[in-house]
A and B are shown apart, each in its own frame.
Chain A
Amino acid sequence: MTSITGHSEADAGPSGDMAATGRVGDRVFSALATGSGVFVVSLIGLVAAFLLAQAVPSLMDNKASFLTSREWQVSAGDLRFGIADLLWVTVISSVIAMAIAVPIAIGVALFLTQYAPRRLARPFASLIDLLAAVPSIVYGIWGYFVLRDFVQPVQTFVESALGWFPLFAPLTVSGTIFLASIVLAIMILPIITAISREVFDQTPAAHKEAALALGATRWEMVRTAVLPFGKPGVISASMLGLGRALGETIAVTLLLSVTRGTFSWSAFAGGETFASRIANGSAEFDTPLKTGAYIAAGLVLFVLTFAVNAVARIVIERRKAFSE
């Protein structure tokens, strides 16, 4: 703890923080605050360290190639597991979800900031926020019991029209990646909308008025002033949405049919994402080696979401640097 307080005092000194008097209360308070900050930082480090430490023994024992194998044999003595199919299903389901959610979210955010009557914009916005409040397991059961029957005809149509393309190859699976993607799209829509709305709202009034004064229609004003200004924010929002979609667990677990042993590039196949493989396996966490295999999958998911979130953060930081 001494090093922590030492750090904060060293930090506070040069910035001319004269309010801290150095009395006991001040030192305790500053230590608590700094300690909490350090705790949060170290938490991420601890997550990485613990997951790595428990994944490594299983990875060492792994007879198959972790990155390129599609096997998942963890119950018997010899471990053979790989994440190739998990990576594909995780990425493709999230990318399709993005492709559906981002345009709609931009539309909703534009509606809430530029089109909706001022008085109604707030209640409308909280309506969209309600989508974020619905627990993911409810999305899962709704998708399974209700939405699936409505998605089926769409799938049949796409399969018959574009079935020659590997991504749309027809298969007879009930819980498809496509269905999971639609549900994921609904789940990430409020996240992308909320952040896009915030940046669209910050468009300088002068830009918008200038566009209108030059004779732009409302759409032209949006296209020339609002969208360019908000672009980094929308990219960042989409990345955050992507991060959420990559790690979504229970809805995907309930929706996707587990089809071990078969693999297809089609969006109409079943499969498992990192998260759903872990969730499906959670009942058989008994020996450390077996658990380690699942933890290794979790570690990859952690790295993936870390990278996506870090990129999102950097994009929005750069925007701040430019606009100030």
Chain B
Amino acid sequence: MSTVTSSTEPAAAPPVGAGLSGLSRGRSVTNSVMTVVVYGAFLLALVPLAWILWTVLSRGYSLLLDQNWWLTSQRGITPRRVGGGAYHAILGTLVQAAVCALIAVPIAVFTAIYLVEYGRGKLARAVSFMVDILTGIPSIVAALFIYAVWVTTFGLQRVGFAVSLALVMLMIPVVVRSTEEMLKLVPNELREASYALGVPKWKTIARIVIPTALSGIITGVLLGLARVMGETAPLLILGPYSASINTSLVDGPMAALPTMIKDNFGQALQPATDRLWASALTLILLVLLLNGAGRVVARFSAVR
């Protein structure tokens, strides 16, 4: 606040009507009101965050304290019964996300390399534009597309791998954008020094540019993973829920945390409601963990 008064006082003298007494009343009132409004907006935005986290934490924590939650599935557990765990859903979410990352990361990193190191002219502009469009594509549309390809065209079943494919479409733009930002930060001197030593371009990228930007790329991957893990729409279309453990991506329905939440949402009974909040808390913890990891990596090893 001191900067405001110090910067306004000397200038307040000349304006007509203001006199030597400083700001006119109206202006200073407006300024104070707007300061309150701006602070208020920030506090208002924090309300739902705190509210949601508190709701999920307070209603969901008790089941998470039981080790069965982490080790068993919901097999044979009816909504009426207490017990069982979320192992099957956690496993499904992790496996689907991991396979998604395995496919999405190479494509995304190479796309970013194309945009920064190779891309010129019309194609580069088209790629950049399409990455933006991909960022905004609704997850349900991505899921319908995979459904149209996987189920309708190829006649395959709704399985975990199809979900991973839909998630790939949602993960690519996140990783492309963050990788692109990081590659742009790599100083050109590094590239030029490498070229001057006669190192070919591809080796320069693979050995100099990528390692320099690696932490940023990892951050992008972690944030992308956090995003796709919480996606529900592709699971609704492509990944039916199952209460049992299924480790196969290509055979039978595979549970995931969002569909476990959805499954318990439909039940009005207390044991199911408890599991609803517990699985929501598990999902939030997983997502926040990845998010936090991404931020820590970004903080401690930024490109300098």
Residue B202 interfacial (CB < 8 Å): yes
B229 to chain A, nearest CB (A): 7
Residues of B within 8 A of A115 (CB): 35, 38-39
Residues of A within 8 A of B76 (CB): none
How many angstroms between the C-alpha atoms of A298 and B234 in the bound complex? 13
A76 to chain B, nearest CB (A): 20
Chain A minimum-CB-distance residue to B194: A19
Residues of B within 8 A of A240 (CB): 136
Asked whether, in the complex, the Cβ of A302 is within 8 Å of the Cβ of B141, the reply is yes
Residues of A within 8 A of B258 (CB): 135, 137, 250
Of A78-86, A153-161, A213-221, the segment with at least 4 beta carbons within 8 Å of chain B is: A213-221
Of B9-17, B66-74, B245-253, the segment with at least 4 beta carbons within 8 Å of chain A is: B9-17
Chain A minimum-CB-distance residue to B131: A40
Residue B232 interfacial (CB < 8 Å): yes
Other-chain residue from A29, A186, A298 in contact with B202 (beta carbon distance below 8 A): A29
Residues of A within 8 A of B138 (CB): 246-249, 275, 301-302, 305
Other-chain residue from B11, B110, B261, B295 in contact with A35 (beta carbon distance below 8 A): B110
- The majority secondary structure among interface residues of chain A is helix
Asked whether, in the complex, the Cβ of A250 is within 8 Å of the Cβ of B232, the reply is yes
Other-chain residue from B55, B149, B202 in contact with A50 (beta carbon distance below 8 A): B149
Asked whether, in the complex, the Cβ of A301 is within 8 Å of the Cβ of B141, the reply is yes
Of B79-87, B203-211, B213-221, the segment with at least 4 beta carbons within 8 Å of chain A is: B203-211
Asked whether, in the complex, the Cβ of B232 is within 8 Å of the Cβ of A136, the reply is yes
Knowing A23-B200, A219-B31, A249-B138, the reply to whether A12 touches B118 (Cβ < 8 A) is yes
Residue A44 interfacial (CB < 8 Å): yes
B232 to chain A, nearest CB (A): 4
Asked whether, in the complex, the Cβ of B141 is within 8 Å of the Cβ of A298, the reply is yes
Asked whether, in the complex, the Cβ of B288 is within 8 Å of the Cβ of A275, the reply is no
Asked whether, in the complex, the Cβ of A29 is within 8 Å of the Cβ of B201, the reply is yes
Other-chain residue from A41, A107, A137 in contact with B37 (beta carbon distance below 8 A): A107
Residue B237 interfacial (CB < 8 Å): yes
Which range holds the interface residue count of chain B? 35 or more
Residue B65 interfacial (CB < 8 Å): no
Residue B42 interfacial (CB < 8 Å): yes
B44 to chain A, nearest CB (A): 6
Chain A minimum-CB-distance residue to B199: A19
Residue B157 interfacial (CB < 8 Å): no
Residue B62 interfacial (CB < 8 Å): no
Residue B161 interfacial (CB < 8 Å): no
Other-chain residue from B107, B226, B280 in contact with A141 (beta carbon distance below 8 A): B280
Residue A38 interfacial (CB < 8 Å): yes
Residue A30 interfacial (CB < 8 Å): yes
Residues of A within 8 A of B232 (CB): 135-137, 249-250
Residues of A within 8 A of B144 (CB): 51, 278, 294-295, 298
Residue A72 interfacial (CB < 8 Å): no
Residue A256 interfacial (CB < 8 Å): no
Residues of A within 8 A of B132 (CB): 309, 313
Chain B minimum-CB-distance residue to A138: B280
Residue B152 interfacial (CB < 8 Å): yes
Residue A203 interfacial (CB < 8 Å): no
Other-chain residue from A20, A39, A139, A189 in contact with B201 (beta carbon distance below 8 A): A20
Binary CB contact string for chain B from 136 to 157 against chain A (1 if under 8 A, 0 otherwise): 1111111011011101110000
Asked whether, in the complex, the Cβ of B118 is within 8 Å of the Cβ of A33, the reply is yes
Residue B21 interfacial (CB < 8 Å): no
Of A62-70, A121-129, A168-176, A260-268, the segment with at least 4 beta carbons within 8 Å of chain B is: A121-129
Residue A323 interfacial (CB < 8 Å): no
Residue A149 interfacial (CB < 8 Å): no
Residues of B within 8 A of A301 (CB): 138, 140-141
Asked whether, in the complex, the Cβ of B153 is within 8 Å of the Cβ of A50, the reply is yes
How many angstroms between the C-alpha atoms of A222 and B30 in the bound complex? 12
> Can you give 6 contacting A-B residue pairs, CB < 8 Å?
A40-B107, A54-B152, A249-B138, A285-B151, A291-B152, A305-B136
- Apart from the given pairs A141-B276, A222-B34, A298-B144, 12 other A-B contacts in the complex at a CB distance below 8 Å: A30-B201, A33-B113, A36-B108, A38-B127, A40-B176, A46-B149, A104-B45, A107-B40, A108-B42, A247-B141, A275-B233, A285-B147
A residues whose Cβ falls under 8 Å from a Cβ of B: 7-8, 11-12, 15, 17, 19-21, 23, 25-26, 28-30, 32-41, 43-44, 46-47, 50-51, 53-54, 103-108, 110-112, 114-116, 124, 126-128, 130-131, 133-139, 141-142, 144-146, 186, 189, 193, 212-220, 222, 240, 243-244, 246-250, 254, 275, 278-279, 282, 285, 288, 291, 294-295, 298, 301-302, 305-306, 308-310, 312-313
Instruction: For the complex of A and B, list the 6 residue pairs with the smallest distance between their C-beta atoms, beginning with the closest.
Output: A247-B138, A107-B41, A135-B230, A215-B11, A29-B202, A36-B110
